[in-house]
Amino acid sequence: MPEATEPTGGATATPVALKLTAKDFKSDQEVRWCPGCGDYAILAAVQSFLPELNIPRERIVFISGIGCSSRFPYYMNTYGLHSIHGRAPAIATGLAVSRPDLSIWVVTGDGDALSIGGNHLIHALRRNVNLKILLFNNRIYGLTKGQYSPTSELGKITKSTPLGSADSPFNPLSLALGAEATFVARTIDSDRRHLQSVLRAAAEHQGSAFVEIYQNCNIFNDGAFDALKEPETRDDYLIRLEHGQPIVFGSQGQFCVVRPPGGFGLAVRQTADVPAEEIVVHDATVEEPAYAFALSRLPGFALRNTPIGIFRNVTRPTYDRLVQEQVESARAKATGTPEEQLAELLHSGDTWTIL
C-alpha cells in the first residue's frame, strides 16, 4: 500500500541532490508531433527544467486528456497517464487527494480544457487542488485536423466554419481567475527562458497553478502568435510582467499600464504622458482578483498589449490538504486495530443477540 506520507503539498524536493539531467526525463518513445510543432519546444523546456526541482522521477506524474498536447506524457520518463477528452483535471484530482507525496502535472489544450473539459478545469481551480495545469493554447483543433476551438477568434474560417466562426472565444486567463484560481500565468512556447521561469514559479506554488502557453500549430493555425515572436513587433506588443516592477513596455519603454479614473480596469497609455507614480506597479500577490482580471483583459486587436508572466500568485488552503487533514485527524482519534474498529462499526446502532 502507499506509504502514509506527510501531506507536503506536492513538488517535494529530496534533501540529496539527485543530479538528474534533461536526458533522464526523455522516454524511449519516438516523438510523433508534426515537424515544426510548438509542442517540441515546450517538451524540451520541461525536460530541461525538471531536474532543478530535485524531485525523483518516480514521484512525478504527467496526466493528460486528448489532443495533440495530450500525447505529452508518453514522451516523459516519469509516471504518466494519457486519459480521455477533457477529464485529466478530474483524474488528477483523485490522484492528488490520495497521494500528496506526488508532483502532478496536467497537460491539456484549448479544446481539451476549455471545451469538453471546461467543467473539470473550473472546479479543479476553485478547489485549489495541488496540480500544475499547463494549457497549450494554439487556438485550433489540431488532432481532428483543423476545426475552430473555444479560443479561436470570432469569424475564424476553418473546416467547420467556412463562413467564419460565430462563437466568441474564451479568454483562458479571465476564465481561470473567475474560477478562483490562485496561480495564473501566461508564457510562450518559443521563449524557453520565460517558459521555464513560469514553470519554476508554478512548481513552487501550493495549489492549482494554471499556466497558459501560447503554442504554434504550424499545420492548421500557423503564425497565430507571430506578432508576439517576431523581432519587429514583439517588444511593442508584449507586456512582460515582473513582480514589484512598474508595468512599462515597448521597444523604447514607450507604453505603460495605468488605472484610469472612473473605470474598473487597467489601460495602456504613452509613458511620456503619464506621471511616473501613476504607472501601475505589478503585484501578483494582490488578494482581490479584479486586478489580475483587468490585466487579463488588456490584449486588444491582433495581440497588442498581451501580458505574459505571472498574473496572480496568492495562497489559499489546498483541497487535497484539507481533505487529508480530515482523514488524518479522524485516524488520530481512532483506537484499536482496523479490524477492531470495523467490528465496532458493524456492531454500532441498535443490535440484538440471539443465543
Buried b / exposed e across 178-203, counting CB within 10 Å, b at 16+?
ebebbbbbbbbbbbbebbbbbbebbb
- How far apart are alpha carbons 156 and 162 in whole angstroms? 8
Q: Which is nearer to another protein, 94 or 164 (CB)?
A: 94
Residue selected from 14, 21, 119, 285 as contacting another protein according to rule CB under 8 A: 119
- Interface residue with another protein among 26, 123, 229, 304 (CB under 8 A) is 123
Q: Please identify, using beta-carbon distances, which residue of 123 and 229 lies nearer to another protein.
A: 123
- In the complex, minimum distance from the CB of residue 64 to another protein, in angstroms, rounded to a whole number: 8
What would the grid cell of residue 188 be?
510562450
Q: In the window 305-324, what residues touch another protein (CB under 8 A)?
A: 323
Angle between helices 88-98 and 319-333 in degrees, nearest 10: 30
Cα-to-chain-centroid distance, residue 292:
15
Contact between residue 279 and residue 256 where contact means Cβ atoms under 8 Å apart? yes
Q: Which of residues 66-105 bind another protein (CB under 8 A)?
A: 66, 73-74, 76-84, 87, 90-99, 101-102
Q: How far is the CB of 292 from another protein (least distance, A)?
A: 23
| Residue corresponding to grid cell 514589484 | 244
Q: Can residue 339 be called a binding residue for another protein (CB under 8 A)?
A: yes
Q: Does 338 bind another protein (CB under 8 A)?
A: yes
The alpha carbon of residue 58 and the mean position of all alpha carbons in its chain are separated, in whole angstroms, by 21
Among 42, 61, 173, 292, binds another protein (CB under 8 A): 61
> CA-based angle 44:72:183, to the nearest 5?
80
How many residues bind another protein, per CB under 8 A?
61
Q: Is 24 exposed, middle or buried (CB count within 10 Å of its CB: 0-12, 13-18, 19+)?
A: middle
Q: Which is nearer to another protein, 60 or 209 (CB)?
A: 60
221-260 footprint of another protein as x/- string (CB under 8 A): ----------------------------------------
How far apart are CB 348 and another protein at their closest, in Å?
Answer: 8
58 near another protein, rule: CB under 8 A:
yes
* Closer residue to another protein in complex, CB, 37/92: 92
In DSSP terms, which residues pair with 188 in a beta bridge? Answer: 214
By CB under 8 A, residue 15 contacts another protein: no
The H-assigned helical ranges of 128-183 are 172-178
311 touches 186 (CB < 8 A): yes
**Is 349 among the residues that bind another protein (CB under 8 A)?**
yes
CB of 335 to another protein, least distance (A): 10
For cell 524557453, name the residue. Answer: 192
Q: Which is nearer to another protein, 267 or 323 (CB)?
A: 323
Options 9, 20, 56, 169; binder of another protein; rule CB under 8 A: 56
- The interface region with another protein, picked from 35-43, 151-159, 294-302, 339-347 by CB under 8 A, is 339-347
Return the amino acid letter for 125. Answer: L
**Sign of CA pseudo-dihedral 141, 145, 148, 153:** positive
CA torsion angle 47 51 55 57 (round to 10): 50
CB of 16 to another protein, least distance (A): 13
When the beta carbons of 27 and 197 are compared against another protein, the nearer one is 27
Q: Does 1 help bind another protein (rule: CB under 8 A)?
A: yes
Asked whether 177 and 170 are in contact (CB, 8 A), the reply is no
Query: Per CB under 8 A, does 326 bind another protein?
Result: yes
Q: Tell me the three cell numbers of residue 186.
A: 501566461
Least Cα distance to 242 among 308, 287, 184, 195 occurs for 308
Q: Are 88 and 112 in contact (CB under 8 A)?
A: yes
Residues that bind another protein (CB under 8 A): 1-3, 27, 29, 56-59, 61, 63, 66, 73-74, 76-84, 87, 90-99, 101-102, 119-120, 123, 323, 326-327, 330-331, 333-334, 338-339, 341-343, 345-347, 349-355
